[in-house]
Structure formats: C-alpha cells, structure tokens
C-alpha cells in the first residue's frame, strides 16, 4: 500500500513526499481510513510506529485552514509537545496550516499570541487546563487527539484531562492513542469517545522490523570501553545513548566529550530552554551523539538516527520499545545495541517474550578488527575523493624533492595517524564464552542444574566478581598515579 491510496489533497501529498515517507506503517494503514470516515478512534500502538502521522495526516486533510483552532492535540511532556508540533507543521505548512505549542515554563502571553494565529494546538495538560480555567483562551476544535494516554495516566494527569474535556464542544471527532489500555484509560475512553472504532497493533508488530536488535555481554566495569569500541566500529552518523539515571547521563557526557566526541545530553533536571537548545542541536546535526534518560524516549522524533545504544538495559519492556523506536523511522534502517552483564541475560529473554521480538547476541570487535574496518573505510574514501587543483599543486611542489611513491607513502602515513583505536584488545565475552553462558542460563531456567553444576556456576560468579573488583582497583590506581603526576 502507498499513501496515494488515501486520496489526500495535493498539498498534503507533497508534504508527505518531502518528509521522505513512502508506504504507511501498520498503524497508519489501519487508522487513517477510519479517521477520514469521521469515526472516533481508540488506537493501541507503541511510540515509534508512526502515530503522529496516523492522526495528523487525516486530520489536516479535513481542515479548512481558515477558521482558527480546528485541532487540539494533548500530550504528556514538553519534549513530546515540541516533537508532535514540529511534525504536524511539516505536514501542514504547504497548505498554510499553523501550529502552536503550549506547555509550562514559558510566558503565558507569548503562548496566547501564538494560539491566536494557529490552526492546531499541541499542549500538555497542566498548562492547557490553566489557560482554559482562567478563561485566557476558548477552544472550539473539530478534532481532539489524546496522544500517549497511558503515559498521562502514569504522570497523574487523569483529572486534568477530564476537566479539560468539560471546556470542549460536544460535537467533535475524538481520537485516543495509547501504548497500553489500563482500566482508568478504558473508563476515560467511555466518557469522551462516541461509538469509537478500535485499532490494535499486535505484539509482533510492536518493534519495527527495520531495526536490527543486538546485545553484547560485558563485565560491569567494561561498559565505557565497550561503548567506545562499538561506536568506533559501527561509525554511526547520528546516535542516541540511553542511561537509567541522570547522574549516569552527566558522567557519560563528560567522559565522551573528553574522548573527542560532539555530545549533547538530556534529562529531567535541565531547564526548558536548555532542553530545547539540546534537542535542536541534535536535530540540526550540530552534535552526533545524544545521551539521555528515558524522558527523551517519549516523542524524540529525528528521522536520521542510525543507532540506539542502551548503556544499561531498561527496567521494563515498554521503555525498551520506546527507546529503540528512536531509530529505524520513516522507512530507514536502524540498529539497537544493548550492553548487558552476565546476570542480565534473563532480562533480555523477558523483554523478548513481552515484546515479541528477538535480540541477536554478538561479541565486541577486537582492536585489530576495528582497525581493519577503518582501513577499508579509508581506502574507499580515498578512492571516491575528487582531486582538487590545490592538491595537484601541492604534489608538484613535493616532487621537487621526493619521488611520487615516497609522497604517497608519507601522505598515507599522515592520514593513518588519525585512525586511533583505543582501549584493550579484548572486551566482553568471546563467542565460546557467550555460547556457554546462554546454554547455562537455559539449563538454569529449566531447573536442570545438578549440585555440581550449581557449584560451578557459583564459582564462576565469584571469579567474575573478583575480575570486576580487580578492574575497578586498576582504574583507581591509574587515576591515583595520574593525579600524582
């Protein structure tokens, strides 16, 4: 199926083409026809499945663009509000559709001015409720969309949502999108939707088939080295590294910056202006690596993210889906890489079962393997480089004193000096060790370990603990020697 089959108006088709969309995702294919027919809708789908386009395209198709606020989108976070607003603006700009973003932490007057000029509002519940209750604005939208409804429930916004709907017209088309359907969300749907149609993306469709999912087993103290080695080897154009905690984001950002990477970070303690600046820098290509907590997994929409790295595996399956959904967007291929300790293998299996996906195990490349890959990339780059007049002139000048073969050798040496593969040679488990560990975990799960096997497992865990402790002590000694210098 293609987007042409929806019979969108020319301005919308042009916007879809410019956005690089080719064929609709499962949620778009199922939801768009129902919305165009005028039905209220309950859609159960994960982040990263194309939900914004699923409601944005058919809503913009039906808008006139000349009667003030025609559509209201309510989202849980400021980051998601900005992302949804940006995407809706892209779809509607050719038709002259204007959007306004409404969230806390910014002046009321400025937002009210933007609302007066807009056709679509994308708002967080708290600020929107304030504006409506204080009668600073009045809304009469034909379309109301609740995006990430379960997330708004988790954040305690259910009462605000119910109150907001008391200010909205009865005659409207209401669309609800949610990753899960807990009882309070089902109850809310019964109150605000009229004879809704339902669309559900099954577990097998929850993770994008264009995302290759890999995990690497490393010791706890090897995470930094493993991350650097994989970035060196994968050479991502643009990537996101997810951490569990804010302090881990700050520490890793400082560490990666010290290694010479262009890095930006995002977590909940940052000021709003700083958040906006950081996201804009990443989207515009001013930084290559974005380090964030799960706050950024919701709604961060950057189509050219080639890789997602899970520095630590997330605590739950939903977070995993949201994280890896940042890559493989808009028909592009993506890769999701997760670092786990030997004790976290069971978490991998649980997420696979919950999500209906398969993560492939792999080993961290050695220094020599990375060097060979970098050499090959360099050879390819040299072969495809166009010769400039200034380069010809430089070689002529060198030929006064050197023969052409020597010049080539010198230039190749100079270029190769930039290829620096850091860290120790072997990082993480090798193929045989990994295979043995996976087999042991299978036996353990099936309750098939005898007393001897259990003693062996405990002995290996003790050795692993000692190895980690030694690695930590070695790093402390190195830091101590460095500070003494």
CATH 3.40.50.300 domain extents, the chain: 3-201, 211-364
**CA–CA dist 309, 364 (Å, integer):** 14
Say what the pLDDT of residue 204 is: 52
**CA–CA dist 197, 174 (Å, integer):** 11
Say what the pLDDT of residue 252 is: 94
Q: Which residues of the chain have pLDDT under 70?
A: 46-48, 202-208, 295-300, 330, 418-419, 443-485
Say what the pLDDT of residue 448 is: 46
The closest alpha carbon to 374, from 404, 418, 412, belongs to 418
Of 3.40.50.300, 3.30.365.10, 3.90.650.10, 3.40.50.1970, which CATH number belongs to 211-364?
Answer: 3.40.50.300
Say what the pLDDT of residue 473 is: 59
The closest alpha carbon to 81, from 181, 163, 19, 148, belongs to 148
The closest alpha carbon to 127, from 81, 174, 63, 90, belongs to 81
For the record, the structure tokens of 271 come out as 């000021």
First to last CA, the chain: 66
Say what the pLDDT of residue 170 is: 92
The closest alpha carbon to 224, from 234, 212, 232, belongs to 232
Say what the pLDDT of residue 449 is: 46
The closest alpha carbon to 334, from 218, 238, 230, belongs to 238
214-240 burial: b if 16+ Cβ within 10 Å, else e: ebbbbbbbbbbbbbbbbbbbbebebbb
Instruction: Tell me the pLDDT tens digit for each residue of 80-105.
Output: 888 889 889 989 999 999 999 999 88
Of 3.40.50.300, 3.30.420.130, 2.40.37.10, 3.90.1200.10, which CATH number belongs to 3-201?
Answer: 3.40.50.300
**CA–CA dist 25, 23 (Å, integer):** 7
Say what the pLDDT of residue 130 is: 94
**CA–CA dist 199, 31 (Å, integer):** 7
């Amino acid at each position: 199926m293609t987007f042409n089959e929806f019979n969108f108006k020319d301005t919308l088709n042009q916007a879809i083409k410019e956005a690089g969309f080719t064929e609709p995702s499962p949620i778009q294919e199922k939801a768009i026809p129902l919305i165009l027919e005028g039905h209220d809708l309950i859609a159960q789908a994960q982040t990263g499945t194309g939900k914004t386009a699923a409601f944005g395209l058919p809503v913009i198709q039906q808008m006139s663009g000349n009667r003030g606020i025609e559509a209201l989108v309510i989202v849980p976070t400021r980051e998601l509000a900005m992302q949804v607003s940006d995407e809706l603006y892209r779809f509607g700009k050719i038709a002259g559709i204007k959007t306004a973003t409404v969230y806390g932490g910014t002046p009321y007057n400025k937002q009210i001015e933007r609302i007066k000029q807009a056709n679509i509002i994308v708002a967080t519940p708290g600020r929107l409720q304030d504006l409506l209750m204080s009668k600073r604005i009045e809304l009469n939208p034909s379309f109301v969309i609740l995006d990430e409804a379960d997330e708004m429930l988790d954040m305690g916004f259910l009462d605000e949502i119910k109150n907001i709907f008391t200010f909205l017209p009865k005659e409207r088309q209401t669309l609800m999108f949610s990753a899960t359907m807990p009882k309070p969300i089902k109850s809310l749907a019964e109150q605000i939707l009229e004879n809704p149609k339902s669309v559900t993306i099954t577990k097998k469709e929850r993770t994008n088939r264009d995302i290759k999912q890999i995990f690497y087993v490393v010791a706890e103290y090897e995470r930094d080295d493993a991350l650097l080695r994989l970035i060196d080897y994968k050479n991502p154009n643009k990537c996101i590294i997810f951490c569990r905690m804010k302090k881990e984001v700050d520490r890793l950002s400082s560490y990666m910056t010290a290694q010479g990477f262009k890095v930006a970070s995002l977590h909940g303690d940052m000021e709003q202006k700083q958040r906006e600046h950081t996201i804009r820098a990443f989207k515009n290509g001013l930084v290559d690596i974005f380090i964030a907590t799960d706050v950024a997994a919701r709604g961060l929409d950057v189509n050219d993210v080639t890789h997602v790295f899970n520095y630590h595996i997330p605590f739950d399956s939903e977070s995993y889906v949201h994280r890896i959904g940042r890559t493989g967007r808009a028909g592009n291929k993506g890769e999701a890489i997760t670092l786990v300790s030997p004790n976290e293998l069971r978490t991998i299996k649980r997420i696979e079962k919950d999500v209906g996906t398969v993560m492939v195990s792999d080993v961290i490349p050695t220094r020599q393997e990375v060097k060979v890959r970098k050499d090959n990339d360099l050879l390819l780059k040299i072969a495809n480089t166009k010769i400039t007049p200034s380069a010809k002139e430089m070689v002529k000048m060198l030929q006064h004193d050197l023969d052409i073969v020597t010049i080539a050798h010198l230039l190749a040496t100079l270029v190769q000096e930039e290829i620096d593969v850091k860290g120790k040679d072997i990082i993480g488990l090798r193929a045989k060790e990994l295979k043995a560990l996976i087999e042991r975990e299978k036996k353990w799960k099936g309750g098939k370990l005898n007393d001897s096997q259990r003693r062996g497992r405990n002995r290996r865990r003790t050795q692993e603990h000692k190895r980690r402790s030694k690695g930590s002590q070695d790093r402390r000694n190195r830091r101590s020697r460095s500070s003494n210098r």
